[in-house]
Chains A and B, each alone.
Chain A
């Protein structure tokens, strides 16, 4: 099992550009999450999904959109990137809402 995978691993964008981060999990988990990690801080929840076809906002959702068309995939989109979105993005998944979350390797995004 690959667990949780993320693509790409690194990306540099210019202000105003758009991109999509892909998260995939092969553990048949219902719940998936997108977090961001900024220097000197722990992770903060952006959006999450409790199952295929569902999405919901976390604590820092502005500037991001998500989709969960397939159970194993969770996409994070930036429509118009801003320098404040420079961060490391982590995807996680869990079987249930109260179960251990397992993380992907992260995507380092720089917005110039």
Chain B
């Protein structure tokens, strides 16, 4: 079963508008972490924002905010005031335990391609 689901293969937004990228997750672990990464056409993976399962407030980092709805198991990324440079693939990821020793890996969704139009 897919643990991270990104239902939007592609999204379009006008420059300066806000856009929401969807992410739902599945886990039975009460302690987990959710990440969003940006992958521009140049290929690197850039960390954007993190939300811990016990965090009381939604995470924010500049123009990025995470709309965390724990009961719905969703962690949507909101980008405000879109810029042309925001055009990229966006991946939602969740920490998942590898072993009892505390090691964890990231489980990724398939990504959403965001295109910002001028």
Interface size class of B (residues with CB under 8 A): 20 to 34
Q: Taking A42-B109, A97-B104, A100-B50 as contacts, is the C-beta distance between A56 and B43 under 8 angstroms?
A: no
A74 contact set on B, CB distance < 8 A: none
Residues of chain B within 8 A (CB-CB) of A35 are 106
The interface residues of chain B, by DSSP majority, are classed as strand
How many Å from the CB of B35 to the closest CB on chain A?
A: 7
How many residues of A are in contact with the other chain, CB < 8 A?
28
B111 pairs with A59, CB closer than 8 A: no
Q: What is the 8 Å Cβ interface bit string for chain B, positions 76-118, against chain A (1 contact, 0 not)? A: 0000000000000001010100110111111111110000000
B103 A48 Cβ-Cβ under 8 A: yes
Asked if B45 is at the interface (CB within 8 A of a chain A CB), the reply is yes
Chain A, 89-106, contact with B by CB distance < 8 Å: what is the 0/1 string?
Answer: 010100011101111111
> Are B108 and A58 touching (Cβ within 8 A)?
no
Complex CA distance for A109 and B102, rounded to whole angstroms: 31
User: A21 CA to B108 CA in the complex, in Å?
Assistant: 22
